[in-house]
Structure 1
Amino acid sequence: MITDMTKGNPSTTILKFAFPMLIGNLFQQLYNIVDSVVVGRFIGKDALASVGSSFMLMNFFSFVIIGMCMGASIVYSYYFGEKNYSKLRKTIYISFLSIGIFTILLSVLLVFNIEEMLILINTPENILGDARIYLKVIFASLIFAYLFNICSALLRSIGDSRTPLYFLILAALINIVLDLLFVIVYDMGVLGVAVATAIAQAVSSILCLIYGFTKIPFIRLTREDMVFDKEIAKVVAKYSFLTSIQQSIMTFGMVCVQGIVNTFGADTIAAFTAAGKIDSIAYLPVQDFGNAFSTYVAQNKGANNMTRIREGVKSVVKTIIIFCLILSLAIYISAGKLMNIFVNASEINVIEIGVEYLSIISIFYVLIGFLFMFYGFFRGMGELNTSLFLTILSLGSRVFLAYTLSRIPQIGQRGIWWSVPIGWIIADLVGFVLYKRTHKNKLLIPQETLNF
């Protein structure tokens, strides 16, 4: 269902749009959660550590692609809000082709350099083999991750957040069935988990592509649309590149943190892997509100409706506070039970480390909620440099503090956990100052003077 976000009640519009994104991302997380549960329960602790160590590298390069797709979607949203369908179709052609070629080249490069990357992040020798097998399959099938994300980004940019959800649900179900089949029945180990994920992504991406271009007439490309427009290409390149840098910096920071975690051994790696899954699911709602807000801001900027953007900010702030308070309480109380989902009760040390991590992080979810709001606002307004700066500030602070604090014997790995909320609060304070500047300089000036 296509949604024009320049009309209707801002709160209702953003929430309705964000909800399918939330459910969809929960199923996206289900890919990795099922992988971790199956590996941890049916293969073993070392295998779980190998998938966890691989996960950060996989995320980093996946988010390079996802960031490019997100950047292009801002341009889609702007032209959709402006009702300029000719430029929208040309943007689709240029972005699909250029990002697709980049993905193929990146995939080939990664497949031939897996071991060097794993060694670079201090992957222990006993889990290196499984990590290498897992990543080889994931990187070889990166084209399907691209295809799904570019199609999803397009559909969401025009207000359809439900269709990507349906294909994600299908992919998650396929992934669950194949995980169990390949690991338990055929005893394929970590290889089976990776192959299951690749097949699930392939099916969902192809179906999403077919749906988009057969069911929505105004995005269907003609010969006139498949031309190189220099001005559109420059806009797409700018937005795709800067958003990709932002997303990859976020995950690069996590790769650096993973490298620090890896120095503490397999128990800490396994605990960080399991707790990290729980953590990432917990703040998905506010992450999706931020992403939905980005589309909302971009469409309304295209329509030159600055008053509506200000109303949207107030709505998102209230939603973030409510959701984060509920989530913080829920995760803090149930941390131990949640860890037991991923690892056997006999792994007492792994569970204790994971509970310690969640008990610290969960208290501060409202901080990451506001940070996602700032990311979405500045992306939607076209201030990608500001959004990028906040990301660098947050992740840079986290990596620096994680390394510094964890080297103090009295603090140890707890320093890694505490570096997270400290990084969030630093970026939030700066983000608030920059938002006030934008509010004064752009949101309060005559609308007809604004340009894309």
Structure 2
Amino acid sequence: MKKYNNTFLEGPILSSLLKFSLPVLLALILQSLYGAVDLWAVGVFCSPADVSAVSTGSQTMLIVTGIITGLSMGTTVLLGQTIGKKDFCISAKVISASIWIFATLGIFLSIIMLFAAPSIAILMNAPAEALEKTIHYIQICGAGSIFIVAYNVISAVFRGMGNSKAPLLFVAIACAANILGDIILVNIFNMGTEGVAIATIAAQAISVLSSMILIKRTGLPFPFTKEDLYFDRSTASAIIKLGSPIALQDMCNETSYLILIGFVNTLGVTASAGVGIAEKLVMFMLLIPMSYMQSISAFTAQNIGAGQYLRARKAMWTGMMTAVFLGGVMSFISFFHGDLLSAIFIRDSEVIAASSEFLKATSIECFILSAAYCFTGYFNGMSKTAFVMAQGLCAIFLVKIPYAWFASNKAHPQLFQIGLSTVFAALFTLLVCLLYYIHRQRRHHTSEKTKAISF
């Protein structure tokens, strides 16, 4: 057995957090290269219709990934808390229950996505010239959902144990395989949209195989044998209870982007392709707040399990300071040089202009989320996932979608105005999380004073 990472529970907070969050950030960067490389390949070697198809299809697959990563957060948090308590018997049950839950989910999603692809593409208002390509992309990637599920749950287990380097290794292998696959299938065999979809799923399968080999060779930091591989209903319920609110929020968040793209698709292929490229760039900008959210969740979970509540709060504020600085740098570059970034993916000047216009708004969103996601990571680690879900759904359905609809239905709709819907939603999240944090702190201080008086 290997020793688990206990630097979360002792020593300097900043260095511990950075050592964990940096591999998380790098893994997210490489994972985002899947869609980015796919978009680059069709943007350089294929037509705008292929770009539109990959843009719409990949956004659809992000909903699937959002459900998986959100639900797997239940595994990360519960595993982190049990390791903080040093209750390794329960830790083994968490892994066993996770295997059963996500194996079932992976099979279900693979079947559903394969048959629902045509309906999804039509619902997304995919342009007529890109409709068939969009359907094929969704069908191929959807059929391989089992590999996406397997990768994410394995990564969630390692993060819960305080190990962020292993997921980085897995995704690095997959990214290299995906790039090679895109070059071969798109540039050499001219397979276009279908080629990038096949390359993506093949790369995920290679990543899962690599991770299973590593686990078999190194083992886990606590006893886990075939006898432990049984379905424990109470543990499974705890994972679902923690993870399902985050999964629902992530699903709705990605769905909101699909709806937004649906609004944009009515403006034509140029606007659709431009926003598709902008969204790929936004994914890279969001990697900083996302990496801090995941890191703070794992950090908080272990410290809550060990009863170190003050250390958990300090980790959140420490992470927020560095996240806001890094997020600010990324947002500045995107706001003022969006055209140069967009030109990486396509040569069409009109598409580049559309992408740059949309980026001016979403770069502001990413800066705000650099702070907001640190709050949500902290609340997730405290098992307050129901609150995270509630505020997220309100931001989506009360702010983002209504404003996007309003902006897209003006006499002369502008992509910048449509993009502002994401900014207002991010502001809502930040404000509500700050108020909830203040409320919890006041309630905590009141409880402490009551205890002091009683003594």
Q: TM-score, normalised by structure 2?
A: 0.94
Q: How does 1:79-228 map to 2 (within 5 A)?
A: 79-228=82-231
Partner of 1:377: 378
The alignment status of 1:35 with 2:32, answered yes or no, reads no
Task: Provide the aligned C-alpha RMSD in A.
Answer: 1.8
Q: Which deviates more from structure 2 when the two are superposed, residues 365-374 or residues 173-182?
A: 365-374
The alignment status of 1:430 with 2:427, answered yes or no, reads no
Q: Is the 8 A contact 2:303 2:309 kept in 1?
A: yes
**Aligned-partner Cα distance in 2 for 1:399–1:443:** 38
**Aligned-partner Cα distance in 2 for 1:443–1:285:** 32
Of 2, 13, 18, the residue aligned with 1:15 is 18
Q: What is the Cα deviation at residue 443 of structure 1?
A: 8.2
**1:392-443 Cα shifts (integer Å, max 9, x gaps):** 1222211111001221224443331111111111121111101112223358
Partner of 1:286: 289
Q: Which amino acid in structure 2 is aligned with residue 336 of structure 1?
A: D
Q: TM-score, normalised by structure 1?
A: 0.94
Partner of 2:361: 360
Cα 1:171–1:444 shift into 2, 3 Å: farther
**Aligned-partner Cα distance in 2 for 1:237–1:363:** 33
Q: Which deviates more from structure 2 when the two are superposed, residues 146-155 or residues 370-379?
A: 370-379
Of 402, 414, 417, the residue aligned with 2:419 is 417
Q: Is the 8 A contact 1:286 1:320 kept in 2?
A: yes
* Aligned positions, number: 445
Q: Is the 8 A contact 1:81 1:303 kept in 2?
A: yes
Q: What is the Cα deviation at residue 122 of structure 1?
A: 1.2
Q: What is the Cα deviation at residue 388 of structure 1?
A: 0.3
Cα 1:320–1:218 shift into 2, 3 Å: closer
Percent sequence identity over aligned pairs = 25
Partner of 2:273: 270
Partner of 1:390: 391
**Aligned-partner Cα distance in 2 for 1:105–1:280:** 27
Partner of 2:51: 48
Give unmatched runs, 5+ long, in structure 1: none
Q: What is the Cα deviation at residue 320 of structure 1?
A: 2.2
Q: What is the Cα deviation at residue 444 of structure 1?
A: 8.2
Partner of 1:324: 327
Of 59, 62, 68, the residue aligned with 1:59 is 62
**1:331-371 Cα shifts (integer Å, max 9, x gaps):** 22321111111111xx2221111111112322443311122
**1:137-179 Cα shifts (integer Å, max 9, x gaps):** 1011111111111111101111110111111111111111110
Q: Is the 8 A contact 1:306 1:444 kept in 2?
A: no
**1:80-134 Cα shifts (integer Å, max 9, x gaps):** 1111111000111011112211220121022111101111121122101111111
Of 253, 259, 267, the residue aligned with 1:250 is 253
**1:356-392 Cα shifts (integer Å, max 9, x gaps):** 1112322443311122112211111111111101211
Q: Is the 8 A contact 2:109 2:146 kept in 1?
A: no
Q: Which amino acid in structure 2 is aligned with residue 358 of structure 1?
A: L
**Partner-residue secondary structure (3-state), 2:337:** helix
Q: Is the 8 A contact 1:275 1:339 kept in 2?
A: yes
**1:310-336 Cα shifts (integer Å, max 9, x gaps):** 211220221122112222222223211
Q: How does 1:277-316 map to 2 (within 5 A)?
A: 277-316=280-319
Q: What is the Cα deviation at residue 214 of structure 1?
A: 3.5
